[in-house]
Amino acid sequence: MPQVRMGEMTVEEVREYLKKNHTIILPYGVVEQHGYHLPLDTDIRNATVIGEKLAKKLGCLVAPTLNYCFSGGTLPGTINVKPNTFSAMVGEIIESLALQGFRNIIILPGHGGGEALGSLKESLRLQKWFSPVMKETLILLLRIYRYSPTWQEVARQNHDCHAGLVETSFILDWFPKEVRKERPVDQARLAKRISDNPDTFLRHTSLTKDPQEIPTSEQDPRIHVGVMGHPEKASAQLGRKITNEIIKNAAKELTEVLHQAETSRRSGKRFEKTVTGEVKVIAL
């Protein structure tokens, strides 16, 4: 199997790679609370394992995983990097890769925090707008759950989101010794509330009733475990099934997208989304 981990390659090996392939996967995760049964680096493992498996399937490189992001949680061990700081870091990494000759950059989040994803998408849009080297760079921001029908069904049926059934199943499959036997959750009503609606893990307060005031947000102080889902239902078999679905379906879609991007570059044609939502082809 050819080497896929760029961090273990030499300058010469990367130079040779770029003569025939211009695609790289950039995984990122976060150090954050994952209950009492999973390690704090669970999201980093999610990104790294899926990233390497997908790279092998696509025959491309995977960059070293970026370990820090924004969690929003504040239980012991969680390390928060503000979304704008995180977005700037990812943007500079991507620009560095583009300057070297990478033209297709696949960002693979192991962490699904909405604040970080929203900030990153807008930051990258602006960067492509104003950075000449980025204009011809294909940047894809994957949401890996999209590629697994099983994951989507589990999430729908079990209100599973964080450190629950799916993530525990992943780690049981990949790193079984890292999963603690006891899998407690927070007090029953609280655990159900934050699983049904993950956004309710935050408490927002203000000094006035004026809607123009910026509120103060904090993690609900009653949360001590931080699980949003049902880790007691997890199994290595489920983790393996979801992983296989992700790799198979993502590789199929990405192969087609990468081909389409290269065809567009050669032809000079682009896809434009109009104000009405219609997608049309234009020539540059």
Tell me the C-alpha distance between 52 and 54, whole Å: 5
Angstrom CA distances, 231 to 52, 168, 228, 268, stand at: 25, 6, 9, 50
pLDDT greater than 60 at residue 166: yes
Tell me the C-alpha distance between 80 and 29, whole Å: 11
What backbone torsions phi and psi does residue 27 show, to the nearest 5 degrees?
A: -85, 150
Task: Enumerate domains of the chain plus CATH numbers.
Answer: 6-283 (3.40.50.10310)
Q: What DSSP letter does each residue of 55-86 carry, written as one string?
A: HHHHT-EEPPPB--------STT-----HHHH
Q: Evaluate whether 48 touches 85 at the Cβ level (below 8 Å).
A: no
- pTM for the model: 0.94
Average pLDDT, the chain: 94
The predicted-structure confidence for 123-158, as pLDDT tens digits, reads as follows 999 999 999 889 899 999 999 999 999 999 999 998
Amino acid code (one letter) for 168: T
The predicted-structure confidence for 175-223, as pLDDT tens digits, reads as follows 999 999 999 999 999 999 999 998 899 999 999 999 999 999 999 999 9
Residue 234 pLDDT: 96
